[in-house]
Structure 1
Amino acid sequence: MSVVALIDFDPATGEATGFHLGDAEEPQLLVTDLAATRGDGIFETASLAHGHVHALEAHLARLAQSAAMLQLPEPDPAVWRAAVEAVGEALTAQGVDEGAVKFVLTRGVEGGSTPTGWVYGTASPDFSRERTEGVRIVLLDRGYRHDVPQTAPWLLAGAKTLSYAVNRAALREAARRGAEDVLFTSSDGYLLEGPTSTLLLRHGRRLVTPRVDLGILAGTTQADLFTWAEAEGYETGYELLTPADLASADAAWLVSSVRHVAPVRAVDGVARAVDRELSDRLNAALLARVR
């Protein structure tokens, strides 16, 4: 089951004017689009559960931030919001209880001036094993210092771009080492993020995540978890974290929009305890969201 909405643009101004539903089983992208030839575009992926697209406003804000970093046209939030909601409604009508809604903006056809945009929704894989048993991860050096956003902004650290070759290569390296996922570190020894996830650590009654000024994405799902955790009496914080902080944490998770909360059960081949009770509560809180 899948649904696609295509964003309509004014060819004279490049501004979004609306959207229309298309056939998700038919080709929709020109081979000369810069998404295909250069990976020159941005995207967001939101979770759909029980008829609600989660953290939509946060995803739209992050899409706009990425667009500004790549000097793409500013996405019209009203048009994109309506398209995402239409795709979510169509998926729900097809009986999808948990799904993923991905929205993409590219620079368009090479040599042209009109962007390309679409929203694609589909049913999610079954992540029940990852949410309960957890994932084995490896630490991989991303090759940049933690202050790269300030020293080399042209590297687009912190933008959610379509250029995912490095992230896919990192996951293949994790599989080669007998793991399922990756946590990147900076070249000067600080914890960053996963290829598709945000790190969350528990030290007692305090939940922490890496600071967002390190060239990493501000986690939309992690932000919702912090809101829930604070209501439950936990302290929360954004910190400069090292592998030693991961090793000493009472529990660790990789958090993402569609897989939700996956406890870390091993790091570089060393097993670690899984907080099954809190993992279940965190995932239940995410699935119960109504926004």
Structure 2
Amino acid sequence: MTETVLAILNQPSRDAAPHDPDADAFWFAAPLEEHVQVQDLGVIRGDGVFETITVVHGRPQALEPHLARFERSARMLDLPVPDAGAWRRTIEAVCAELDPVREGFVKTVYTRGVEGSDRPTGWAYAAPSGDQTPARTEGISVVTLDRGYRHDVERTSPWLLQGAKTLSYAVNMAALREAGRRGADDALFVSTDGYVLEGTRANLVMSVGGRLVTPRTDIGILAGTTQADVFRFAEDAGMDTSYELVTLADLDAADALWLVSSVRQAAPLRSVNGVTRAMDLPLTERINEFLLSREA
């Protein structure tokens, strides 16, 4: 058992040749040594996709939804279709090798590989998660930032790959730094025509009159696996759920707000653009208990 674990896939897609025809499906590697070639397109162009999967007591959570979104993102980039079986075995293997911790994560990365090689690159990295207790119990502050696109960008400009979980996260990280400069913990993107989209690394969930609402997933945002399970929790509890177009006025009128994602789970918003917001901490606790006890 080790603190961090790295496994590299030999043939991440059945549609491409293996890196070594005589090797196993994957091999473990030292996490802090060099493994990626400097001409890998994932490194020099961000040409690839990834997923981050919560691990609780050694068990990857929402694994099948993550694998399905992984494949969907790869198809949007015209990458060879990931071999779900190989990725599943690799994820389960790195989880088994990770030190016993209550909460950890696995990051799966899949790139186009070295240009001209026709062999994609793939790896899965597992590590313990940082302590998310303050975000879950004290809330986080956010600012709204213009994303620069209309809400219908996914339909009008599919080549912009909105809705795919790609390695091109420079804009998201720039938005996160801008949020920090404005004294906030995170940013919430808004379309140029005034619709609320998503966080830099999370989906928005709102409590509105006893039901849970999230922005529609056909407006150039990532369909969240954690958000889907929050809705599953709500429906099991007898609460109505809805995917809607959300305006800034809707955001202001909501009873409570959360950013939800793998690793952090449900973090209530204590302020938006410097304005204090009410937090439903009992409901937050129930949501996070549900998320951290998922069986799949």
TM-score range, shorter chain: over 0.9
Task: Indicate if the aligned counterparts of 2:175 and 2:187 stay in contact, CA closer than 8 A.
Answer: yes
| Equivalent-residue separation in structure 2 for 1:75 and 1:208 (angstroms) | 32
| Equivalent-residue separation in structure 2 for 1:11 and 1:206 (angstroms) | 41
Task: Indicate if the aligned counterparts of 1:130 and 1:262 stay in contact, CA closer than 8 A.
Answer: yes
Q: Which amino acid counterpart does residue 3 of structure 1 have in structure 2?
A: V
Task: Indicate if the aligned counterparts of 1:190 and 1:242 stay in contact, CA closer than 8 A.
Answer: yes
Q: Does 1:122 align with 2:127?
A: yes
Task: Indicate if the aligned counterparts of 1:139 and 1:267 stay in contact, CA closer than 8 A.
Answer: yes
Query: Which residue is equivalent to 2:38?
Result: 31
Task: Indicate if the aligned counterparts of 1:208 and 1:238 stay in contact, CA closer than 8 A.
Answer: yes
> Partner of 1:217: helix, strand, or coil?
coil
| Equivalent-residue separation in structure 1 for 2:256 and 2:15 (angstroms) | 50
Q: Does 1:289 align with 2:291?
A: no
Q: Does 1:47 align with 2:54?
A: yes
Task: Indicate if the aligned counterparts of 1:11 and 1:113 stay in contact, CA closer than 8 A.
Answer: no
| Equivalent-residue separation in structure 2 for 1:279 and 1:11 (angstroms) | 39
Structure 1 residues 8-27: aligned runs within 5 Å: 8-9=10-11, 14-15=16-17, 18-27=25-34
Query: Which residue is equivalent to 1:190?
Result: 195
2:112 pairs, out of 94, 107, 111, with: 107
| Equivalent-residue separation in structure 1 for 2:154 and 2:15 (angstroms) | 31
Task: Kindly provide the CA deviation profile for residues 122-176 of structure 1, in whole angstroms up to 9, marking residues without a partner as x.
Answer: 1101010000101000000100001001111110010100011100000000000
Q: Which amino acid counterpart does residue 130 of structure 1 have in structure 2?
A: A
> Partner of 1:279: helix, strand, or coil?
helix
Query: Which residue is equivalent to 1:206?
Result: 211
Q: Does 1:252 align with 2:254?
A: no
Task: Kindly provide the CA deviation profile for residues 48-85 of structure 1, in whole angstroms up to 9, marking residues without a partner as x.
Answer: 01221111100101011111110000001111011111
In the superposition, the TM-score normalised over structure 1's length comes to 0.96
Q: Does 1:161 align with 2:166?
A: yes
CA shift for structure 1 position 288: 1.0
CA shift for structure 1 position 9: 2.1
Q: Which amino acid counterpart does residue 29 of structure 1 have in structure 2?
A: V
Query: Which residue is equivalent to 1:269?
Result: 274
| Equivalent-residue separation in structure 2 for 1:112 and 1:19 (angstroms) | 19
Task: Indicate if the aligned counterparts of 2:12 and 2:87 stay in contact, CA closer than 8 A.
Answer: no
Query: Which residue is equivalent to 1:62?
Result: 69
CA shift for structure 1 position 228: 1.2
Query: Which residue is equivalent to 1:235?
Result: 240
Task: Indicate if the aligned counterparts of 1:198 and 1:255 stay in contact, CA closer than 8 A.
Answer: yes
RMSD between aligned residues: 1.5
Q: Does 1:74 align with 2:76?
A: no
Task: Indicate if the aligned counterparts of 1:135 and 1:262 stay in contact, CA closer than 8 A.
Answer: yes
Task: Indicate if the aligned counterparts of 2:226 and 2:260 stay in contact, CA closer than 8 A.
Answer: yes
In the superposition, the TM-score normalised over structure 2's length comes to 0.95
Q: Does 1:173 align with 2:175?
A: no
| Equivalent-residue separation in structure 2 for 1:73 and 1:285 (angstroms) | 35
